[in-house]
A and B are shown apart, each in its own frame.
Chain A
Amino acid sequence: MTPDIAWPRNDYSRVPFRLHHDEEIYALEMERIFRGPAWSYLCLEAELPNPNDFRTTWVGDTPVVVTRDKTGALHAFVNRCSHRGAMIVRELRGNANRLVCLYHRWCYSHAGELTGLPFRQGLKGEGGMPKDFDMKSNSPRKMKVQSLSGMIFGTFQPERAEPLEKYLGEFGVGIVKRFLNRPIKILGYSRQKIHGNWKLYAENLRDTYHASLLHEFFVTYGVDRATQKGGVKMDGRHRHNMNHAFAASDTQEDAKKAYADTAARLDRMQLKDQKLLSFRNEFPDGMNLAAPTLFPNALLIQINNSLGTRQIRPKGVDAHEVFQTLFAYADDDEAMVRHRLLSANLVGPAGFVSMEDGEAIEVVQRATAAERDGACAVIEMGGRGAVKDETHRVTESPIRGFWSYWAELMGVEAPGGIK
């Protein structure tokens, strides 16, 4: 059943708040987006370096196990025993010859095939499974899996999905290759539970307008200001987006004029230990801030020299987990790894330039919870109508691109809706 959404405008510059609170919409998102033809980010190949490695993750609210089999091939399937529904793999990660459900010890291969179950033939001629029980058709639902430069994506509906490279577009493929330009090593994880709908986080990531206003640390200490050169880039369908900025491309005077309210602080506030702000340019493009989002659940993030991925894990209509994986390059020396870890003070749940997002999203969720009469978010910064790339950052139009593609997958597009 498709819900009726009264879009006030066909350019998605008005978005009803109820879309963040409606249980029916949430259930449909899980089905039509996360278990639909979208490519979701699963994990990194560096997390499954060896044959027989496995790792658990989430695609929407579906538990998924990602594996590397003994030949080195990658697989992903629903982490749920086809017998009575127990989670097959309970650990976060590991290495095993086969995956065994604890409940009745049903066994699965790394490709997600049911390979054996105890007492299948019964005991002493009694009991057991029917003779015609088909193991293959009783295996968990599989995803089609593809790695791009070591970033693993999967889709539940490969027959409807575009090829991954086409789905990500030239822009998406290029940006994944930029971040994963050589072998990496995992530095670790952070997790944050934000009590707001997952789409509020997706919006936040496509909103370059908020960055230097909400995250005042950026402006105060000159890490990032809207006066720097930068902009927003998208794929052709406007579902993926990258906010970005170039290091040291504005002046203190530009910034003071633009940020009148905080101008007084620009001279007064100084970090006592400046190393937190030090940036070693390591990419040919010179960007010190790049935050490409890949619909529906992925973000790559560079803030100075801290590098990572984030995966959005919806946890019911009113909460989501942000799962962040920080990495270094395998050829980084000890000093560079230390520098990246110190730069990690900027990002994550306690990050100087990210902690505010959790609060901003939660206060939106709280303030809109009771909204049932069609009240909408106003999304006009950067203009109305068609969505396009910009070489400035006074815009939030990629949010409209997100909603346009969301509406397409959900089957609820506005009449004559922009793409």
Chain B
Amino acid sequence: MNGAISVSPDIRNILTGLMAEYAMAIDEDRLEDWVELFDERCDYRVVTRENVEQGLPNVLMWCDNKDMLRDRVDSYRNVNEYNLHYDRHILGPLVFRSNENSVWSFDVAYSLFQTTLEGESRLFSVGRYAVEAVFKDNRPLLKAVKVIADTGLIPSLLATPI
């Protein structure tokens, strides 16, 4: 991981807004909107810190383009069964790492709580997003989101995205 770089308030505001919408779209069960925050050519994966630190490539979830993200969401909506719950993401500030070839790279710490239909909340996952974002027609889009979960021991199961 590189050290932090400084960026203009405008860039920080826009990309902070992108990540806020990322979290809120999942938390409000607008998964179709969440998918639309990604570029057509994108990469979303959930890995664990345990594997990353051992240099192991295993993924818990991996979509290497936007169609695979759409398939995940379609499958959740129509096919898969999972624990009925609400999600709530709490994000930390963006820590910018680089800006190369018009790609902004930054890290964001997250915690994700889940709440059952009967109102009981638990910490579901804590970790970091390693994000790459670009601008297309002045609109920020996600090129890559790597969720590096400290919480390698998944409570119950992992269905809705982190």
Contacts and interface: CB of A to CB of B under 8 A. Distances in A.
Interface of A: 92-93, 186-195, 214, 216-217, 220, 265, 269, 271-273, 276, 321, 326, 337, 341-342, 344-345, 348-350, 352, 355-360, 362
Contact of A359 (B56, B60, B61, B157): B157
Contacts of A272: 67-68, 70-71, 74
B156 A359 contact: yes
17 contacts: A188-B54, A189-B48, A189-B51, A190-B154, A195-B156, A214-B81, A216-B80, A220-B79, A269-B78, A342-B62, A344-B58, A345-B61, A349-B154, A359-B156, A359-B157, A360-B81, A362-B156
Given A189-B51, A193-B153, A358-B156, A349 B60 contact: yes
A189 B68 CA distance: 22
Contact of A355 (B54, B78, B155, B157): B157
B88 to A, nearest CB: 19
A271 B154 CA distance: 26
A344 B51 CA distance: 14
B93 to A, nearest CB: 28
Overall SS of chain A's interface: mixed
Contact of B68 (A190, A273, A349): A273
Contacts of B81: 214, 216, 355-356, 359-360
Nearest to A272: B67
A209 B16 CA distance: 48
B94 interface: no
Contact of B82 (A193, A273, A355): A355
Given A193-B156, A359-B82, A342 B48 contact: no
Interface string B7-45: 000000000000000000000000000000000000000
B75 A190 contact: no
A193 B59 contact: no
A189 B47 CA distance: 10
B3 interface: no
B147 to A, nearest CB: 11
Contacts of A92: 50
Given A189-B51, A326-B58, A350 B71 contact: no
B154 A193 contact: yes
B74 A269 contact: yes
Contact of A341 (B46, B62, B83): B62
Contacts of B70: 272
A77 B79 CA distance: 45
B57 interface: yes
Contacts of B56: 186-189
Interface bin, chain B:
35 or more
B62 A344 contact: yes
Interface of B: 46, 48, 50-51, 54, 56-65, 67-68, 70-71, 74-75, 78-83, 152-159
Contacts of A193: 153-156
B158 A187 contact: no
Contact of B46 (A186, A216, A350): A350
B83 A350 contact: no
Contacts of B62: 341-342, 344-345
Given A217-B75, A273-B68, A192 B82 contact: no
B50 A189 contact: yes
5 A-B pairs with the lowest CB-CB distances in the bound complex, closest first: A188-B58, A188-B56, A358-B157, A350-B158, A272-B67
Contacts of B48: 188-191
Contacts of A194: 156-157
A187 B57 contact: yes
A349 B51 CA distance: 15
A140 to B, nearest CB: 26
A192 B58 contact: no
A214 B81 CA distance: 8
B57 A356 contact: no
B152 to A, nearest CB: 5
A358 B153 CA distance: 13
Contacts of B60: 190, 344, 348-350
B159 A188 contact: no
A270 to B, nearest CB: 9
Nearest to A348: B60
Nearest to B162: A350
Contact of B51 (A93, A188, A220, A269): A188
Given A192-B156, A217-B79, A272-B70, 8 more contacts: A93-B54, A193-B154, A220-B78, A265-B78, A269-B74, A350-B46, A352-B75, A355-B158
Contacts of B153: 191-193, 321
Contacts of B79: 216-217, 220, 265, 269, 352
B98 to A, nearest CB: 25
A186 to B, nearest CB: 6
Given A344-B59, A350-B60, A271 B46 contact: no
Contacts of B82: 355-356, 359
